[in-house]
């Protein structure tokens, strides 16, 4: 199986390779085959914005009729929907992180041991164990397999969904705070109240290729009708909040500014900050937080570093100023020290979405304010538009978004706030 593209150059090449096949996605996407040739494998690249959803959407519509790639575009937009939904209800993220810590502290040892065994691929159900091993060894799992495995964890093994989501978050190279958290909640029957997703053996037999589904030991435990819903308590506050009012453009001021690059959007040179004139660029890699707070796998840590290194390299070239990846034990203090050393009056960044980077913002803002340095966060206009539509379920969101995309496709001379990948 090809490695996930983790540089912009590799992401563009992978996208150019998949683009002609995007029209086949609707009929082939559910098939789980060794090497995963029927899906793009661009999820990590899009998650870290090595290539943007805007570019993928625009290229798709310039190459194919909307009707031919609607399912593909729908899947691209799912991530934006989840992000927008979580932006409106940030306590769902906070609650999940709190529950992971509480469960690790308070669950009986035998339950924690069972959870660790299932996560290690030692459940005794061969097909599920194979998926666990694939995730651990490659940092990737096909979306259909993610759903089956999450359902197996929750409804067959009767384990807390929060710990299963934590296992995915620690290992998936494309782990996204919104998509991962909310997808697990959906499988558990919490996202759409009472609507659970149950794994069925017949579904695996239909979609998993014979060369990947060789071992069938324990399959009777997921036979059709055997797995029943295991409903769990929802501890999150789902109350809707207002979206943060971030500007969608930046006007250069007559003062020293620096660019903070982070993994939520590692291509600031593509979009509203492309004409920024910083005196320095910095990104921060926090090994102690990666290992201790989030317990990320070595592969996941290496992925984050590769993404940030690529972003720093591109930024140094694009902005023609010093750009540095700083290894840090405290991102807040290191960012403040960097800003002070560079004699900055303003730190500019793409606005992070709800998740680990966003959690740092109050402390970062406090420390910079103490130093008399302004923090300015910019959001892509297309994110602002999409997030505002994500207040309810996905299909009302998609009804509005699809109309917007079709109107965009009919106005290809303009494509409001959409850039191409330059892959065509």
* CA-based nearest residue to 253, from 347, 370, 350, 364: 347
Distance separating alpha carbons of residues 361 and 265, to the nearest angstrom? 15
Distance in angstroms (rounded) separating the CA atoms of residues 301 and 274 = 28
Range of weakest confidence among 66-70, 226-230, 417-421: 417-421
Q: Structure tokens of 164?
A: 């299963």
CA 86/CA 243 separation, integer angstroms: 10
Q: Which helix (H) or strand (E) holds 184?
A: helix 177-188
Helix, strand, or coil here: 374? strand
Name the strand (E) or helix (H) holding 265: none
Statement: residue 51 has pLDDT above 70: yes
Question: Beta-carbon neighbour count of residue 292 at 10 Å?
Answer: 10
Mean per-residue pLDDT, 266-280? 97
Q: How far apart are CA 187 and CA 325, in angstroms?
A: 38
What rounded mean pLDDT belongs to the chain? 94
Q: What was the pLDDT predicted at 34?
A: 87
259 in helix, strand or coil? strand
The CA distance from 423 to 12, in Å, is 6
What distance in Å separates the CA atoms of residue 341 and residue 73, rounded to the nearest whole number?
Answer: 44
pLDDT at 412 over 70: no
Question: Region 249-278: what's the mean pLDDT?
Answer: 96
Sequence-ordered alpha helix ranges (H) in 19-90: 25-28, 43-47, 53-63, 66-88
- Is residue 161 exposed (0-12), middle (13-18) or buried (19+ Cβ within 10 Å)? buried
Note the pLDDT tens digit of each residue in 114-126.
999 999 999 999 9
304 CB neighbour count, 10 Å cutoff: 23
Mean pLDDT of 124-129: 96
Residues 65-89: tens digit of each pLDDT: 999 999 999 999 999 999 999 999 9
Model confidence pLDDT, tens digit, residues 91-100: 999 999 999 9
pLDDT for the residue 211? 80
164-176 residue pLDDT tens: 999 999 999 999 9
Contact 13, 58 (CB under 8 A): no
Name residues whose C-beta falls within 8 Å of residue 201's C-beta, 6 or more positions apart in sequence.
Answer: 219, 222, 223, 224
Calculate the alpha carbon distances from 84 to 89, 182, 401 in Å: 9, 11, 13
* pLDDT at 424 > cutoff 50: no
SS3 257: strand
Helix, strand, or coil here: 58? Answer: helix
Give the residue among 127, 143, 111 at the shortest CA–CA distance from 36.
143
Compute the chain's Rg from CA coordinates. Answer: 22
Task: Report the DSSP pairing between strands 257-260 and 346-350.
Answer: parallel
pLDDT tens track for 351-362: 999 999 999 999
Q: Which 3 state secondary structure label does DSSP give 358?
A: helix
As a whole number, mean pLDDT of residues 247-274 equals: 96
Question: Does residue 260 have a pLDDT over 70?
Answer: yes
Determine contact, residues 398/77, Cβ cutoff 8 Å. yes
């Amino acid at each position: 199986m090809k490695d996930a593209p983790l540089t912009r150059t590799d992401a563009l090449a992978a996208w150019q390779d998949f683009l002609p096949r995007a029209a086949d996605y609707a009929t082939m996407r559910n098939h789980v085959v060794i090497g995963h040739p029927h899906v793009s494998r661009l999820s990590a690249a899009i998650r870290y914005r090595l290539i943007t959803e805007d570019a993928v959407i625009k290229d798709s519509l310039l190459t194919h009729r909307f009707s031919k790639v609607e399912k593909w575009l729908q899947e691209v937009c799912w991530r934006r929907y989840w992000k927008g939904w979580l932006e409106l209800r940030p306590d769902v993220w906070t609650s999940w992180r709190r529950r992971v810590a509480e469960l690790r502290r308070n669950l009986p040892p035998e339950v924690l041991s069972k959870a660790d065994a299932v996560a290690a691929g030692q459940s005794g159900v061969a097909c599920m164990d194979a998926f666990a091993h694939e995730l651990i060894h490659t940092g990737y799992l096909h979306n259909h397999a993610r759903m089956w495995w999450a359902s197996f964890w929750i409804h067959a093994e009767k384990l807390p969904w929060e710990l299963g989501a934590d296992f995915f978050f620690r290992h998936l190279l494309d782990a996204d705070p919104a998509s991962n958290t909310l997808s697990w909640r959906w499988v558990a029957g919490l996202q759409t109240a009472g609507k659970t997703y149950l794994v069925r053996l017949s579904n695996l037999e239909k979609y998993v290729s014979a060369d990947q589904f060789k071992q069938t030991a324990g399959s009777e435990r997921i036979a059709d009708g055997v797995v029943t819903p295991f409903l769990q308590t929802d501890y999150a506050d789902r109350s809707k909040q207002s979206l943060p009012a971030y500007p969608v453009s930046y006007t250069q001021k007559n003062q020293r500014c620096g660019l903070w690059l982070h993994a939520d959007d590692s291509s600031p040179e593509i979009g509203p900050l492309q004409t920024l004139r910083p005196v320095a660029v910095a990104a921060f890699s926090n090994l102690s937080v990666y290992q201790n707070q989030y317990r990320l796998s070595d592969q996941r840590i290496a992925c984050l570093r590769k993404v940030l290194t690529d972003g720093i390299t591109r930024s140094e070239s694009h902005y023609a100023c010093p750009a540095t990846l700083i290894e840090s034990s405290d991102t807040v203090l290191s960012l403040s020290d960097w800003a002070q050393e560079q004699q900055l009056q303003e730190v500019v960044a793409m606005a992070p979405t709800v998740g680990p980077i966003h959690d740092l913002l109050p402390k970062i803002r406090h420390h910079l304010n103490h130093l008399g340095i302004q923090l300015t966060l910019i959001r892509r206009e297309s994110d602002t538009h999409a997030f505002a539509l994500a207040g309810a379920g996905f299909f009302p969101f998609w009804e509005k978004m699809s109309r917007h995309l079709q109107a965009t496709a009919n106005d290809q001379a303009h494509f409001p706030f959409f850039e191409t990948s330059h892959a065509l």
